[in-house]
Amino acid sequence: MASSKPVTPVSPPLKDDLDIVIPTIRNLDFLEMWRPFFQPYHLIIVQDGDPTRTIRVPEGFDYELYNRNDVNKLLGPKASCISFKDSACRCFGFLVSKKKYIFTIDDDCFVAKDPTGNEINALAQHISNLLTPSTPYFFNTLYDPFREGADFVRGYPFSFREGVPTAISHGLWLNIPDYDAPTQLVKPLERNTRYVDAVMTIPKGTLFPMCGMNLGFDRELIGPAMYFGLMGDGQPIGRYDDMWAGWCAKVICDHLGLGVKTGLPYLWHSKASNPFVNLKKEYKGIYWQEQLIPFFQSVALPKECTTVQECYLNLAKLVKEKLGDIDPYFHKLSEAMVMWIEAWDDLNPPKEAQASTNGKPVKEEPSSKSK
């Protein structure tokens, strides 16, 4: 029987609490495919490269667009901590956002289909991952117990079943996998066709290679640790931006009792970047990381560090002390980490401090924004 009650439209989840951050040095045509899923959300576009280039944002999206001139204007001398000519520039979007959640995606990533042929709403899956707890202290062999149709298995301690807040949701990619340059070179035609229907928590004490291509996180829980480092133009290394952020963030999540999930959602990664160019960018990282990983595995943050900023500043000190002998780059990186936290605190003053600006955080106008 028809109901006379008016149907209240369901608002997209976290519509006013989530920003979508997109780094681009190309174009934003990919947004057309994501329109059904992204249109209700606010976009923060970080235009890399030549700021005089005009990047067209497809009609109908609510956005703010920042180019290098905006970065320099907004951060002044601290702009030197934001990379140029590398996808690491995306972290500027994390800095200027005022929302609790972030989803970041590359401009060569498209909507993938699941094995039943349905289009995957990657954003919705990240939101679900972030709004349900993680289980870093004891591995659940049926994977994420908070997913529909799953639960904790027999033998899972009840004292661990509450889980911990989820800080990061790491999605994956069909078609072009996120391989390093050597692997891309030896397996140029390899495509990822394997859809694994699983979300799992990365156990405490275990690091992982965080890819920035399809990534969601809780900005209030872990935002200050999501600095993508000094990469690209003028730097001896590139394409380790997301890796650096992932290692720092995971160590801090472990220390603060926060969770990191990986697995669903998948998206369709369409463009393989040039492996030879990538090799030039990555090669120092490929041998440095043999020392970086033992460093991160050895980090023990003091119990007095109870905020992300305090943890991050402590980490910056350790980077200078323990990694400075590898290469002078790590002295620069350590200083940039401190500058990032200063910039973060400048743009994201604690709530009480905002009262002095009658509650409105001070924010410079972007180069362009939706009408």
Ligand X SMILES: O=c1ccn([C@@H]2O[C@H](COP(=O)(O)OP(=O)(O)O[C@H]3O[C@@H](CO)[C@H](O)[C@H]3O)[C@@H](O)[C@H]2O)c(=O)[nH]1
Rg, Å, the chain Cα set: 20
| Number of CB atoms found within 10 A of residue 103's CB | 23
Among 33, 37, 51, 85, binds ligand X (CB under 6 A): 85
Interaction of residue 179 with Mn ion, rule CB under 5 A: no
Interaction of residue 106 with ligand X, rule CB under 6 A: yes
For ligand X, the closer of residues 207 and 279 by Cβ is 279
CA 106 – CA 134 distance, rounded (Å)? 25
For ligand X, the closer of residues 163 and 275 by Cβ is 275
CA 225 – CA 252 distance, rounded (Å)? 8
| Number of CB atoms found within 10 A of residue 334's CB | 21
For ligand X, the closer of residues 72 and 314 by Cβ is 72
Two structure tokens written together for 242 = 């997301």
Interaction of residue 241 with ligand X, rule CB under 6 A: yes
Interaction of residue 108 with Mn ion, rule CB under 5 A: yes
Interaction of residue 89 with ligand X, rule CB under 6 A: yes
For Mn ion, the closer of residues 242 and 254 by Cβ is 242
Interaction of residue 107 with ligand X, rule CB under 6 A: yes
List C-alpha distances in Å: 224 to 119, 276, 344.
33, 33, 7
Among 213, 221, 311, 343, binds ligand X (CB under 6 A): 213
Find the part of the chain contacting ligand X (CB under 6 A) among 57-65, 236-244, 251-259, 329-337. 236-244
Q: Say which entry of ligand X, Mn ion, none residue 331 contacts (CB below 5 to 8 A, set by partner kind).
A: none
DSSP labels, 148-188: TT--PPTT--GGGTT-B-EEEEEEEEEES----HHHHHH-T
Among 64, 178, 218, 282, binds ligand X (CB under 6 A): 178
For ligand X, the closer of residues 104 and 135 by Cβ is 104
The pairing of beta strand 18-24 with beta strand 101-105: parallel
Burial of 243 (0-12, 13-18, 19+ CB in 10 A): buried
Find the part of the chain contacting ligand X (CB under 6 A) among 234-242, 303-311, 314-322, 363-371. 234-242
Q: Say which entry of ligand X, Mn ion, none residue 261 contacts (CB below 5 to 8 A, set by partner kind).
A: none
**Contact between 66 and 367 (Cβ < 8 Å):** yes
Provide the binding-site residues for ligand X, judged by CB under 6 A.
23-26, 48, 85-87, 89, 106-108, 178, 211-213, 232, 239, 241-242, 271, 273
Provide the binding-site residues for Mn ion, judged by CB under 5 A.
106, 108, 271
